[in-house]
């Protein structure tokens, strides 16, 4: 319960940060709901999903050899420095590699994408605060996709193919990393449709592949080093993206 509380509260910082986003949400005239109440209602779904993901990870992660070393050190009173130190440098490297990969994909693909999609995508990105990128993108999304979804996929593969005996095979981890990365990319499509721009095959492929690439890196870091390594990489990725976008203006 202590580990659950630590991870849940940490993830909720990202959920709450959504309130600071300057989204074009119209006020509901029929229900006469003010904008602030609509924003509060928008937190219900991510809060429920976060709760489920954290519970899955707390219940199953150690059974399949996955961990959140820093959170566990805080929960169980062991050395925090020893828990986080092995994750920092690989996390930084992963974040830089992921940033370079996605910037490269953008550079070659953007000229081929519908201009309306590019402009509205950039406008949405500019309306997303730096704090939300770091907290929700870097922390909450990792709890959802890695701690929750990837852990569940590894456990399912382990239970089906090894009857829950011994350790999960490498194939279970590789498949779970790939599937969770694909879902991470797929999860960005509703936003694409919400932009109201032409959704071509190239747009779909760009969104899924671009986001899946980083999901593979984050999944690998979670597997080998722990959840916080994936979080460090994800947060650094957003820092690099914001910096590059600022100087590219």
Query: Which of 180, 191, 189 minimizes the C-alpha distance to 208?
Result: 189
Read off the pTM: 0.90
Domain residue ranges in the chain = 2-248
In whole angstroms, give the CA distance from residue 26 to residue 68: 39
CA dihedral 160, 164, 166, 168 (to 10 degrees): 50
Packing angle of the helix pair 2-17, 69-76 (nearest 10 deg): 130
Q: Cα angle at 125 between 119 and 129, to 5 degrees?
A: 150
Q: Which residues pair with 28 in a beta bridge?
A: 33
DSSP result, 17-30: HGGG----PPPBTT
32-42 pLDDT per residue, tens = 656 556 667 77
Report residue 162: phi and psi, to 5°: -125, 10
89-114 pLDDT per residue, tens = 999 999 999 999 998 998 899 888 88
pLDDT tens across the length of the chain (249 residues): 899 999 999 999 999 988 876 655 544 445 565 655 666 777 888 999 999 999 999 999 999 999 999 999 999 999 999 999 999 999 999 999 999 999 899 889 988 888 888 888 877 777 778 899 999 999 999 999 999 999 999 999 999 998 888 899 999 999 999 999 999 888 888 888 877 777 889 989 998 998 899 999 999 999 999 999 999 999 999 999 888 877 776
In whole angstroms, give the CA distance from residue 77 to residue 90: 24
The residue written with tokens 């690439």 in the block is: 213
Q: Which two tokens stand for residue 6?
A: 């630590």
Packing angle of the helix pair 170-186, 201-224 (nearest 10 deg): 140
CA distances from 61 to 65, 101, 172, 179, 215 (A): 6, 29, 13, 17, 18
């Amino acid at each position: 319960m202590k580990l659950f509380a630590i991870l849940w509260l940490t993830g909720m910082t990202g959920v709450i940060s959504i309130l600071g986003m300057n989204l074009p949400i119209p006020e509901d005239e029929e229900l006469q709901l003010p904008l602030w109440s609509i924003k509060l209602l928008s937190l219900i779904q991510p809060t429920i999903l976060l709760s489920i993901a954290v519970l899955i990870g707390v219940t199953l992660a150690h059974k399949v050899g996955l961990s959140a070393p820093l959170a566990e050190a805080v929960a169980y009173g062991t050395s925090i420095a020893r828990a986080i130190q092995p994750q920092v440098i690989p996390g930084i490297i992963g974040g830089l590699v992921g940033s370079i990969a996605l910037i490269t994909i953008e550079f070659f693909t953007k000229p081929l994408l519908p201009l309306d999609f590019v402009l509205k995508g950039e406008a949405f990105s500019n309306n997303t605060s730096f704090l939300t990128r770091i907290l929700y993108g870097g922390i909450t999304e990792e709890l959802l996709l890695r701690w929750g979804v990837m852990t569940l996929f590894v456990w399912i593969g382990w239970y089906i193919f090894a009857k829950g005996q011994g350790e999960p095979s490498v194939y279970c981890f590789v498949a779970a990393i790939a599937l969770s990365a694909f879902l991470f990319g797929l999860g960005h499509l509703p936003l694409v449709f919400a932009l109201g721009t032409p959704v071509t095959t190239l747009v779909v492929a760009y969104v899924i592949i671009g986001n899946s690439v980083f999901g593979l890196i984050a999944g690998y870091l979670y597997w080998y080093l722990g959840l916080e390594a994936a979080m460090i990489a994800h947060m650094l990725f957003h820092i690099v993206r914001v910096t590059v976008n600022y100087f590219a203006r």
